[in-house]
Structure 1
């Protein structure tokens, strides 16, 4: 099951790459961020941000994700690390990123963070006919009636 749910997660994230991201253990609110995915990298994704963003220093972090149709939810742990590889920046750069940085790829405020993924808890919300019937009639729900849940290493 975990490989199947992992594939569902990556597809959902590619369809809507927005997460709430925050430093682990901090009392600051999480920040909405746009994950930059690389189809060749399955254990990391990236964020463009500015030097004055509270996450720019990196460190342990958590991201929360809800798919567009709310059929999948994930809580992802990992570590934010400054990405200094210019080839990665060049590969991920696009017009929607350029709009935020007047100095382009050499803007002094530009920071590229790599989110090295550790693990995640992923939930799917797919009640099926049996689950919908139980909900509609008030029957007792059991684990799995509304979808699947698993912990996966990413």
Structure 2
């Protein structure tokens, strides 16, 4: 089943418990480059943005200066939830937002705290997301795949897939 809708709450429900994402940028040489990043939001904000702390000396900052189009991929194999978020990234100077998102965990990466000169705040304004969400148990999935292998017919109804458009 595939649906398209404009519902940031559904998107957030899918990713809120997945703390780490693979953040993909296009390098100046044209290659795609992914790295693990920690989403800082506790909810999607009014602008439907994802927030990340990043070192200003990180290659990612150079990449988004060249091409701000990014992908942020979330996956939770335990719940069979997969989300691909497309958006536009930018470095933001907003001390109040840094303070609101700051945590002890962040301090491990930026020991200078909010005033660490290397601390950058990265905003990804979401334009589109695509998700795959399987509700069946692993056993039911296995039975469907085994039946498919025996019958030669592709498995059906293996979960929901849908799109969320923000713009």
TM-score by length of structure 1 reads: 0.83
Which residue matches 2:19?
A: 17
Which residue matches 1:110?
A: 119
Question: Are residues 1:69 and 2:78 paired?
Answer: yes
Question: Are residues 1:89 and 2:98 paired?
Answer: yes
TM-fit CA distance, 1:12: 3.8
Residues 131 and 7 of structure 1: CA distance in aligned 2, closer, same or farther (over 3 Å) = farther
Unpaired runs of at least 5, structure 1: none
Residues of 2 paired with 1:132 and 1:6: CA distance?
A: 32
TM-fit CA distance, 1:56: 1.8
Which residue matches 1:141?
A: 154
Task: Look up the SS of the partner of 1:56 in the other structure.
Answer: helix
Question: Are residues 1:27 and 2:37 paired?
Answer: no
Question: Are residues 1:46 and 2:51 paired?
Answer: yes
State the aligned residue count: 153
CA RMSD after TM alignment: 2.7
Task: Look up the SS of the partner of 2:61 in the other structure.
Answer: coil
Residues 121 and 12 of structure 1: CA distance in aligned 2, closer, same or farther (over 3 Å) = closer
Task: Look up the SS of the partner of 1:29 in the other structure.
Answer: strand
TM-score by length of structure 2 reads: 0.78
Larger relative contact order, structure 1 or 2 (CA cutoff 8 Å, min sep 6): 2
Unpaired runs of at least 5, structure 2: none
TM-fit CA distance, 1:9: 3.9
